[in-house]
Each structure stands twice: as C-alpha cells, then as structure tokens.
Structure 1
Amino acid sequence: MVVEGFMVGLHKSPYHGFSVEFSQHRSYQQGDPIKDIDWKVYARRERFYIKQYEEETNLICNIVVDVSKSMDYKHDASITKLEYSNILAASLIYLMLHQQDSVGLTLYSDKIESYMNPKSSRVYLNTLLKSLANVKPSNQTRTSECLKSVVDKIKRKGLVIIISDFFDDPESVLSALKKFHYKKNEVIVFQVLDPVEKSFAFSNDAVFVDSETKEEITSQPYQIQKAYQQSMEDFLNKIKNECLRFGIEYNLIDTNTPFDKALFSYFKKRSRLN
C-alpha cells in the first residue's frame, strides 16, 4: 500500500537524539495505528513517533478533486491525471480516517458532482473510496465556480486539499482559492499535470484535440514549443506565486511524481496544525 510504504520508508534508521526519558513515545513501526502518531514531536524532530498515552486532536478536512474531462489525459505516462489524483486522494483519506480525523470528499467538473460531509468514522472509508472508484471524467472545467460553491458548503474551518490541473482562467481560480483563506481554512493545492503538458515534447506533426470542447488544431509542435513552454511557465508561476502570497501551500506534481513526495506535503502541513 502507498501509505504504509511511505511511512516505513522514512524510518530506515533510528533517530539517535531522542531521549529515552520520553517513555510515552517510541519510533513508528509498520502496522502501528497512524492515529497514534505524535505530530508535535514530528514537528520538532521530523521523524514519526507513537504517542501512547495522550490522544491526538482531531482535524476536519475537505478533499476536493477535479473530475472534468481535461483530467482524463495521459501521453506516455502509465496513468491519467484523474487516476493519479484519485490514488492521492484515497491515500489521504486512509491516513486521516486512521488517525481519527474527519474527512469529506467533493468531486466536481462544471458543477458539483458529489459532496460528502466530513466524518471521522472508519466505516466511512469504503463510502469515500467507492465514490472515487466510480467517478467518470466528464464535462468541461468550471473550477472557480465549483470552488466557490464548496466554500459555501463548508460549515467549520479546517484543512482543504484541492487536486486539479487548474486549466481554467487563472484569475478566477485564484479568486476562489482566496475565499478558503478568508474563511480561515488551511489550504493545500496539488496541481497535477501530465509531463508532456509541461514539456510539449512532441516530435511529429500532430492534431491536438481539446478533451472538453473537441476543438481540433493541426500543428508542427517544434514551431510552437518555446512559445507554449513560456506560456505554461507563466501560467504555473501565476498560480504558485499567488497561492504562496496568501499562505496556501502549493505543490506542482506530474503523473510520474512518486506518491510519497505528494504525501509528505500533507504531513508537513498536518504537523504544523497541531
């Protein structure tokens, strides 16, 4: 499993500076309940230890996943952007419910496809995972409108994790993201792309088909590669810089990115929230 492999991989050698006088703590081992991790110790030591006596404070989290047609893309990657996003979301859901946090799930395209309120019951895991497994990419993207709807649905502040390619008007998207910030939520953004969407590394003449509008453009990629790359860089930097300016944790990942790298961003945020 992605989650267990990630946790064990971080702890191949013991941390020598941790005093044995802390008898209520011990190093995390495979199979330990994730809910017993002491996140305050992790924030200081950057290693995971099990809290044996003190109960962890619960977190409320809403995970928001873009399931529009643009997410159903892959070039040479083994999985689509949506498949990658679903695995990431499922891993996060597993982690949260097993540490007794409350987690909800929203799926959207050009509208809210489903909204599931945060709950902390472990039996909720199958319900959320089934929702992810059954989703079919559809419709065009209306990220900004859908995110604004999600803001209105969230009744209690907490952590919001948004997973999308953000292929929408950047000004509108950023305006929606800022609303989460203004409502005192902590926000993590995962912008998920296929590697070729960044590199535009096509070698032959090609017909490009918009996955949402079906519009076609015939082009010689090498003639427009530099212009495309610059435009994409400007787009990504705009999203990133504005997120950072408002305290939103931004992560640009592609479908070849190891899942542990994406999960580590969540762990860093989780440790700071304790």
Structure 2
Amino acid sequence: MANYATKFIDPQVLATIKDLPLLAKTVVEGFLAGQNQSLRRGAGLEFSQYRSYQPGDDLRQLDWKMFARSDRYYIREAEVDTNITVRFIIDASGSMAHQDVNGISKMAYTRFLVASLAYLATLQGDAVGLYVLHEEQLINLTPRADNMHLQRFWHQLAEVKPEGKFPDAHTAANLFSSKKQKELTVFVTDLYEQEHEISDLLYKLGAQRHELLLCHLVARNELEFTYNGTLTFEDLETGQTMQVSTPEQRNLYLERLQAWLQQTERDMRSRQIAYERFITDEPLDKALRTFLKNRLAYG
C-alpha cells in the first residue's frame, strides 16, 4: 500500500499525466489507499448524540446497530453540519514559473496540489472556489459544491500561466468579502514579492476571522543553491539580471535564506496563519495530510 501511494503522489510521475481530473483522482485515491482513517462523505453531518425514539420521528434516522446491541430504538441526532467553503488562492505571478532541476515548475506543482485538494474537499461535500492572482488578470470562480463546478475548476486551473507581478494587496483583497459561513482559505505562493504585497494580502485575509492555510512553495535548487560556476540570474517578474559567482555567494545566500524562512514562519504564526512549507520535488502526501488536519479541525 505504501509503495503504491508513494508512486502516485510523486511530482515526477504526476508530470506525465496530462489530464488534470485524472491526476487529481489518482493522487487522492493513491493517498487514501495508504491511510488508515476514513473520510466522511455525502451530507457532511457528524452524528455524535442519540436519544430514544419518539412517535413521529423520521425512521430513516433510526440507528439499527444500536438497536441490535441494546434492543431499544435510538434516533441519531446531527450535532453539526460539517460542510464548509474552501477557497483556493493561487499566486500566478512570474516567479511561479521557476523550475527545479527535475523540470517541474512551481506552477505545475501548484496545479497538482490544488487539483487534488479540491477533489478531496468535494468528496467531503465542501464548496470549492478558485482565485488566480497576477497583475494582468484576476480569475474568480465562486465556490460551489457540485461535479460540474469541479470540472470548471479543473479547466480554469489547467489554463493558468504564471506571468507578470502579483497585484497590489488592495486590488486582490477586493475579491473577498467577509462572510459568516465556515470557510477555509488555502493560499499557494512562493512569497516572492516586490513591496510586501503578498504579505499585506495574507494579513488582511487573516483578519477576516476565517481559517487561513499558507502553502509556501520552495524549489530544491533555491533551498540548497545547487548551482556551479559564474551564472547570470534573471528576475522572472521584473526582467532584471544579476551575475553571480556561485562559490563566493553560496554561503551568504543560504544564511540569508534560512533567516528569512524562519522569520516568515514566525510572522505568519504570530498572526494565527497556519504556515506550511513544501518543496516542489516532494510527494504530495504531506500537503494532503496538512489540508486534512486543517479541514477536519475546522469542520
């Protein structure tokens, strides 16, 4: 089971699957095959209380297992409706086109991740929405909880191309309204920003009193600086270039990177934003478990 599950959540294997719905189903079914826990399906009602049957009660709510054990009729009472709205926000700025040595870009990994999480959420009966942010276009797919909507969700996701800069926080924040229903927002980004525009948006979203899960994507070659020689690096959002002698710059870069990563995590957690870092050559099981933990705790 474990080998089967790992095989079908490896990004390099997933990159060979061109059909996004098939990819999402493959990931989720492969993941669940290795899990011991079961997920609630359907109406999203969690039954945790029982009371004695009274004339006029709906017979469909009778718990026959309780009757078999006690020889008495009990009605299952729904404690809480556990369905929620899950909003997926994707950073589609130019830096998300960055590729690791395995050829997989941050945006490709984002597609694998978000397509799979949306399918998993839909299995739970949740409404899913898609918001794609870059300076040229703001895609807004209002959350719904039906199969036709999920097909549209996957289609829009497959069409996303990273380009330009991230929009300013004020423009992006206007897409979202503070609503009263249960809501989990999943924000996928590499946190590459010009002037705190992504951080500002995260803080505004966090202030809306909904659960917010930040999925911070980092490529392995960024994390370990796996470059050699004197190279010219180009900023994928501004087009600016810089020549770097890698042996001389590696230690300084790694030191500053670790300091930034640690400070970023502290900042997010201090604002009650759930922060998780994902490396784009890692299998998706960590992301799926993280989503389930946040989703089930909130639902």
Q: State how 1:241-256 maps to structure 2 within 5 Å.
A: 241-256=266-281
Question: Structure 2 stretches of 5 or more lacking a match?
Answer: 1-25, 49-64, 66-75
Correspondence for 1:217 = 242
Q: TM-score, normalised by structure 2?
A: 0.74
Correspondence for 1:86 = 111
Give the partner amino acid of 1:197. E
Which is greater in Rg? 2
Q: Is 1:203 matched with 2:228? A: yes
Alignment counterpart, residue 254 of structure 2, candidates 218, 221, 229: 229
**CA distance in 2 between partners of 1:222 and 1:233 (Å):** 18
Q: State how 1:154-173 maps to structure 2 within 5 Å.
A: 155-156=179-180, 158-169=183-194, 171-173=196-198
Q: In the TM superposition, what whole-angstrom CA distance separates every residue of 1:105-158 from its partner, at most 9, and x where no partner exists?
A: 00011255201111111211110000011112211223644542344x454451
Q: TM-score, normalised by structure 1?
A: 0.80
Do 1:174 and 1:239's aligned partners in 2 also have CA atoms closer than 8 Å?
A: no
Q: In the TM superposition, what whole-angstrom CA distance separates every residue of 1:249-274 from its partner, at most 9, and x where no partner exists?
A: 10111111210111111110112113
Give the partner amino acid of 1:164. T
Question: Structure 1 stretches of 5 or more lacking a match?
Answer: 12-26, 42-51
Please give the secondary structure, in 1, of the residue aligned with 2:228. coil
Give the partner amino acid of 2:173. K
**CA distance in 1 between partners of 2:253 and 2:184 (Å):** 34
Give the partner amino acid of 1:57. T
Q: State how 1:40-79 maps to structure 2 within 5 Å.
A: 57-79=82-104
Q: Is 1:6 matched with 2:31? A: yes
Do 1:40 and 1:271's aligned partners in 2 also have CA atoms closer than 8 Å?
A: no
**CA distance in 2 between partners of 1:243 and 1:170 (Å):** 17
**CA distance in 2 between partners of 1:146 and 1:261 (Å):** 32
The percent identity for this pair of structures is: 23
**CA distance in 2 between partners of 1:232 and 1:143 (Å):** 24
Q: Would you identify which runs of 4 or more consecutive aligned residues in structure 1 move more than 4 Å?
A: 32-41, 52-56, 169-172
Instruction: Count how many residue pairs are aligned between Structure 1 and Structure 2.
Output: 245
**CA distance in 2 between partners of 1:146 and 1:221 (Å):** 38
Correspondence for 1:118 = 143
Root mean square deviation, CA, Å: 2.6
Q: Is 1:105 matched with 2:133? A: no
**CA distance in 1 between partners of 2:131 and 2:141 (Å):** 6
Decide whether aligned partners of structure 1 residues 256 and 40 sit closer, same or farther in structure 2, where only a CA change above 3 A counts.
Answer: farther
Give the partner amino acid of 1:217. M
Do 1:143 and 1:166's aligned partners in 2 also have CA atoms closer than 8 Å?
A: no
**CA distance in 2 between partners of 1:233 and 1:147 (Å):** 29
